[in-house]
Amino acid sequence: MSALLQAEQLTMRFGGLTAVKEFSCAIESGELFGLIGPNGAGKTTVFNLLTGVYRPSSGTVTFAQSDITGQPPPVIAARGMSRTFQNIRLFDELSALENVMAGAHLRGHINLFDALLRTGRNAREEKRQRDWAYKLLAFMGLEERAGLAAKHLPYGDRRKLEIARALATEPKLICLDEPAAGMNPSEKQGLAQLIRRIRDQLHVTVLLIEHDMQLVMGLCERIQVLDHGETIACGKPREIQSDARVIEAYLGVADA
Amino acid sequence: MARNFLVMLGLLAGCYGFNFVLAEFIEVVYVDYINLCGLAIILAVGLNVINGLAGQFSLGHAGFMSVGAFAGAYASIMLTYGVIESGPLSFASMGSFLLCLALSGLSAAAVGALVGAPTLRLKGDYLAIATLGFAEITRIVLTAQDAIGGPTGLKRIPKMPLLPGAEKWDGGTSTFWIYAFVCLVILLSLNLQRSTFGRALICVRENELAAETMGVRAARMKVMAFVYGAFFAGIAGCLYAHYQHSVRPDDFTTVRSIEVVVMLVLGGLGSLTGAVVGAVIVTLMPQFLRPLEEFLNLSGLSMVVYAALLLLMMLFRPQGIFGQRELSLKLLRRLVPGAGRESGP
Amino acid sequence: MDFTQLLQNMTNGVAKGSCYALVAVGYTMVYGVLQLINFAHSDVYMLGAYFAYWPAKWMGYLPDEKGGRAQDVPLALVGLFVVGSMVACAAVGALIERAAYRPLRNSGRLAPLITAIGVSLLLEYGGQMVFGTEPRLFPTFVEAQSYDVGGVKFANTSIIIVVTAAVLMGALTLFVNHTRQGRALRAVSHSFNNARLMGINVNATITMTFMLGSSLAAVGGILVAMDQPTITPLMGLRMGLKAFVAAVLGGIGSIPGAALGGLLLGVSESVVAYWSTTYSEAVAFLILIGVLLVRPAGILGSAAREKV
């Protein structure tokens, strides 16, 4: 059995700067995988490489047994990888419900003429998207907010809505970029439970970038640590916690 | 779909009745204003899909219109007279007219795809200036074609086909044809807007990257918007040519493209209702100000007043009359207690 | 192929391009700070010509019937007309900014754009009301002469145009790069907020930008009017379009870009005019689209990368 997502020797250079250097990882189906590292370690760049936002300078990405290196984001989304953004990117003018329905667009099977002529197929597609979107909103605890424009949602809900939208694409793997950023401790706890339920109930594999160590350590089954674009450790939370290089990266080297 | 079909049939009957009433009871000048409004509505509603929904700032709508106008007019002259520049003005046959309309729409749509595809990577004002450039190039190329009359364009374009029972109507059946397409473009655009494709277009506008990572093929959606808008601009061009009976490349300058954008922004970009209202205002305002200008014998006055009103409007309501809202039953009820029906067409 | 003629066209193109550049600078500077296509700029250019025309007319320096030169205008007086027109246009530019654009500075991108169109229409048709629709002969001020170099004629008006444009553009570049106010301008075009935090008066700087651009447009208007030599209230339409294209071509926001774009446009138009005057009108747009497809931010422009 090969991994669901396998990255090999991914390198990304911006001009002279190497943001990510020879990044490799293998995420098994059904895992809760964490990617951590200090600010500027290249975590988000890795996400951008995996989801097709950037084309890697070198290296390969294999997802569900097919090579997706350099494919554009819509193709990767169609293969079953979805994501959220560190700087929330919702469709602000659309309602929460419509945001999630937009995620469901990907799995729709109607053509433009169905839409223009309002055929029966169009009606069925609308119903499918609507039902699915309501279900996900309920899952994320946002059913009350369905009719509100995304721009009017409070911050925490915006983060959750982005997750709901990503789930609407029916992914095999969801990449969450700092989903708990800016949340208070109790919100974070709720979110951790939600993420676990995404994996347990929706059977979606989760790849998580997070700054909050407590959250990551409690939630993830395996963790990979980046620093200056390079992997410095990978393993179970307990191993990571005691890894000398990780501690050094986070706390700096003690003066000798 | 069946319901849509019935609605459209009903609307067509409505257009027939509307044409009849105008022909019988309304002064020709005002009928002309109403027809010009109709043409503007088709343009604005089509452009709203590109500029409003997809958020792609196109400043080249007159270009698409000109392609449709010349394609349709040329075909129509050929189908009716067989040659250019001969014979008195006559009615186009129903068949040839519909054929010309289809040709106009499709040729403009093809140009829309042609313009849309390479300029996709441009954003905002750069896209605007590139589309403006395309429209200007189109105009200049048309000017240079002797086969379609060069700068003087095509003349003696047949009248729009007669309808049963309409033989004696003054001013012909232009209103019917124009408003039939007004109804069509509004109906289709409403359907589009409320569909998964409409949402996908808005996603591209709101956040292209997020749309792409959610599986929306932004490039394809943008081309689709251009093709859709261009198709109806082409139809409007064809109708315009048949309505005026003549068409020149200089009917489609940048000024006209800008005018359509002004209609959208004035009404509220992204709102279909806004596009309709904006089209009507921008078309009528100079017409109604003209008598004032003639009375005071101050050439330019009507445009000055128009510009001043436009300025005031933007300064006090920058989001346009409707913002992004639509005139719906709900909104109507809120504004006018007791009001029930949306007024048409 | 007549190479002398082609060369002649090219030299004419340099003069034409210099005028484009003078007007393009105004577009590029305003766009640099406000990200606004200032549609009214081309009408300020038109006003520039009229502001020089009227005093000349009142003082009796009328052109003769054939549009020839106004008799015996002292050079100092010509300079006065030009400077007066520059000052007046600068005032108009500042007024436009203050009254029409500043109230909308936080209303997104479209509302100001439509406002700009409104101001443009207002000036064009207001111009028609005040100045009349008929074209007016503009006094040429200097006696037309031309110098023959190997069959290629250099008209003295062309030389005046090119030299004036070069001097003004040079002065502007020096100003922007080597003075306090110039530094403020660059800072504001980078970021309003950061500039404000550094103690720069953002509003004053924007006003200054409009005044600079407008005064150069005034000179452009006078130079073109001398060359034509007729002026109409709608003369800005074509020039505005071309000059804006030149600005985008060179890389909007960049002053050397405006100069480069203007010259490139002027020369290529004139060269193509050797074969077809009709298509020479399309050249500007063809080059524009070609360049944008390869370099989406123009020749000297730099595209900002979106942070993901």
Chains A and C form CB pairs within 8 A to the count of: 6
Q: Residues B274, B175: contact at Cβ < 8 Å?
A: no
- Give A85's contacts in chain C (Cβ within 8 Å): 308
Phi-psi sector, B113: left (phi>0), alpha (psi -120 to 50), beta: alpha
pTM summary value: 0.90
Query: B residues 236-295 near C, CB within 8 Å?
Result: 254-255, 258, 261-262, 265-266, 269
- Beta-strand relationship, A32-36 and A205-209: parallel
pLDDT band with cut points at 50, 70 and 90 for residue B301: confident
The pLDDT, as a whole number, for residue C70 is 55
Q: Is C308 on the interface with A (CB under 8 A)?
A: yes
- Is the pLDDT at C115 greater than 60? The verdict is yes
B253 vs A256 pLDDT, higher one: B253
Specify the DSSP class assigned to residue B310: H
- Test A53 with C307 for CB contact under 8 angstroms: no
**According to the model, what pLDDT value does residue B339 have?**
40
Per the listing, tokens 């005031």 go with B312
Q: Cis before residue C229, ω within 30 degrees of 0?
A: yes
pLDDT tier for residue B120 given thresholds of 50, 70 and 90:
confident
Least Cα distance to B319 among B251, B277, B273, B271 occurs for: B271
pLDDT value at residue B341:
39
Name the residue of chain B whose CA is nearest to C134's CA.
B299
Q: For position C202, what pLDDT does the model report?
A: 94
**DSSP string for B82-124:** SSSS-S---BPPHHHHHHHHHHHHHHHHHHHHHHHHHHTT--H
Tokens of A1: 């059995």
For residue B321, the model assigns a pLDDT of 85
Asked whether residue C1 carries a pLDDT value surpassing 80, the answer given is: no
State whether C281 and B140 contact (CB < 8 Å): yes
CA distance C56 to C67: 14
Q: Which of A91, A116, A125 lies at the smallest CB-CB distance from B210?
A: A91
Q: Give the separation between CA C219 and CA A128, rounded to whole angstroms.
A: 64
Question: What span, in angstroms and rounded, lies between the C-alpha atoms of A3 and A6?
Answer: 6
- State the average pLDDT over residues C108-116: 87
Residues of chain A with confidence (pLDDT) below 70: 1, 253-256
Calpha distance B302→B257 (Å, rounded): 20
Q: Could you tell me the sign of the dihedral formed by the alpha carbons of B97, B102, B105, B108, in that order?
A: negative
Contact: B129, C108; criterion CB under 8 Å = no
First to last CA, chain C: 54
Show residues of chain C in contact with B314, CB under 8 Å: 104, 111-112, 114-115, 118
Name the strand (E) or helix (H) holding B73: helix B61-80
Contact B214 A82 (CB under 8 A): yes
**Do residue A48 and residue C308 have CB atoms under 8 angstroms apart?**
yes
Percent of chain C residues topping a pLDDT of 70: 94
Is residue B338 predicted with pLDDT exceeding 50?
no
* Three-class SS state of C49: helix
Q: Identify the band that residue B333 occupies on the pLDDT scale cut at 50, 70 and 90.
A: low
The domains of chain C are located at: 17-236
- In sequence order, the β-bridge partners of residue A60 are A8
- 3 state SS of A237: helix
pLDDT averaged over every residue in chain C: 89
Residues 6+ apart with CB under 8 A from C215: C86, C87, C89, C90, C93
- Is C178 in CB contact (< 8 Å) with chain A? no
pLDDT tens-digit profile of C276-307? 888 888 998 999 989 988 888 888 887 666 66
Contacts of A73 in chain C (CB under 8 A): none
Identify each DSSP E strand in chain C by its residue range. Answer: 136-137, 146-149, 152-155, 230-231
**E strand or H helix at A63:** strand A58-63
Q: Quickly state the pLDDT bin for C72 (edges 50, 70, 90).
A: low
Nearest-Cα residue of chain B relative to residue A122 = B195
Q: Supply the pLDDT for residue A201.
A: 95
Tokens 């709901």 correspond to: A164
Residue C68 pLDDT more than 60? Answer: no
* Average pLDDT for C137-148: 82
Evaluate the CA torsion angle B191, B196, B202, B208 in order and state its sign: negative
DSSP A106-148: GG----HHHHHHT-HHHHHHHHHHHHHHHHHHHHTT-GGGTTS
Checking if the pLDDT of B302 tops 90, the result is no
- CB atoms closer than 10 angstroms to residue B282: 22
What's the helix, strand, coil split of chain C in %, to 5? 70, 5, 25
Residue A166: list chain B partners with CB under 8 A.
Answer: 214
How confident is the model over B191-225, as pLDDT tens digits? 999 999 999 999 999 999 999 999 999 999 999 99
Q: Which residue has the tokens 């038109």?
A: C46
Give the position of tokens 């029930």. B340
**Residue-wise pLDDT tens digits, C198-218:** 999 999 999 999 999 999 999
CA gap B344, B190 in Å, rounded: 14
Interface of A with B (CB under 8 A): 51-53, 72-74, 76-78, 82-83, 85, 89-94, 98, 101-106, 108, 110, 112, 114-120, 122, 125-126, 129, 165-166, 168-169
Single-letter code of the amino acid located at B307: A
User: Quick one: A1-80+171-256 is in which CATH superfamily?
Assistant: P-loop containing nucleotide triphosphate hydrolases (3.40.50.300)
In whole numbers, what is the pLDDT of chain B averaged over residues? 89
DSSP E strand boundaries for A84-229: 173-177, 205-209, 222-227
Residue B312 neighbours by CB under 8 Å, 6+ apart:
none
pLDDT computed for residue B340 by the predictor: 38
| DSSP SS3 for A235 | strand
Sequence-distant contacts of B162-166: CB under 8 A, at least 24 apart: B162/B91, B163/B16, B163/B19, B166/B19, B166/B20, B166/B23
Beta strands (DSSP E) in C79-185 are 136-137, 146-149, 152-155
Residue of C nearest to A43 (CA): C308
Residue with the bigger pLDDT between B3 and B252: it is B252
How far is Cα A226 from Cα A20, in angstroms, rounded to an integer? 9
pLDDT at position B296 over 90: no
Chain C neighbours, 3+ Cβ pairs < 8 A: A, B
Measured distance CA(B104)–CA(B235) in Å, rounded: 6
